[in-house]
Amino acid sequence: MNLANKLTVLRVILVPVFGFFMLTEGIIPHNYLYAAIVFAIAAITDTADGKIARKYNMITDFGKFLDPLADKILVVTALICFVELSWTSAWVVAVIVAREFMVSGIRLVAAGSKKKLVIAASIWGKLKTAATMAVICVILLLYILADFGAIEITPVITLIRDILMYICCGLTVISGIKYLWDYRELFNDAK
């Protein structure tokens, strides 16, 4: 296994650690800070593995498959934690998760098609992932600051948090529609 793929596997391994820290409020002091550190490390591996794979010609089918899957696992875990903590609406997360299942389904159809396609993440998928990870970091930062008494979670902060999540939801819908459009011929071939 090459270095790029090892970084991707590390990102998957960090997911339960992140989830643990997110949901231990009142048990572990400053748990959101630790969760944010783990999330940041995982997000950095997302950037690093792609750059390393391209620079050193380490692009593999395994990496094309696991990299977007690792992103999905990390982001969906964060969003499920957000719902558990009442930081976002369940419908927003449901839309995001539905898109992830749809894109994964398209990838499965492509892999099973006559052409045996392996679909790498598109620019819209990468934009959606980067924006969602950035929003998760901003929201975590707000709650870290509140945990340390630097700010108070006011209705204005809550509104900003909700608007950021709606933007993520919108980008998710756009990228999902783009995937459906770009790979529509797969469904014509599957008759």
pLDDT at res. 189: 58
Q: What is the mean pLDDT of the chain?
A: 90
Q: Which domain holds residue 71?
A: 3-189
Rounded Cα–Cα distance for residues 35 and 18 (Å): 5
Amino acid at 153: I
Q: Which of 40-44, 68-72, 151-155 has the lowest mean pLDDT?
A: 68-72
Using the predicted structure, report yes or no on whether residue 40 has a pLDDT greater than 90: yes
pLDDT at res. 149: 95
Rounded Cα–Cα distance for residues 19 and 17 (Å): 5
User: Could you give the number of structural domains in the chain?
Assistant: 1
Rounded Cα–Cα distance for residues 31 and 22 (Å): 6
**Helices and strands in the chain, H and E counts:** 7, 0
Compute the half-sphere exposure of residue 37: CA atoms within 13 Å on the CB side of its CA.
6
- The token pair that represents 151 in the structure block: 């700010």
Q: Which of 13-27, 70-84, 121-135 has the lowest mean pLDDT?
A: 121-135
pLDDT at res. 190: 52
The CATH number given to whatever domain includes residue 139 is: 1.20.120
Using the predicted structure, report yes or no on whether residue 185 has a pLDDT greater than 60: yes
Region 52-60: mean pLDDT is: 90
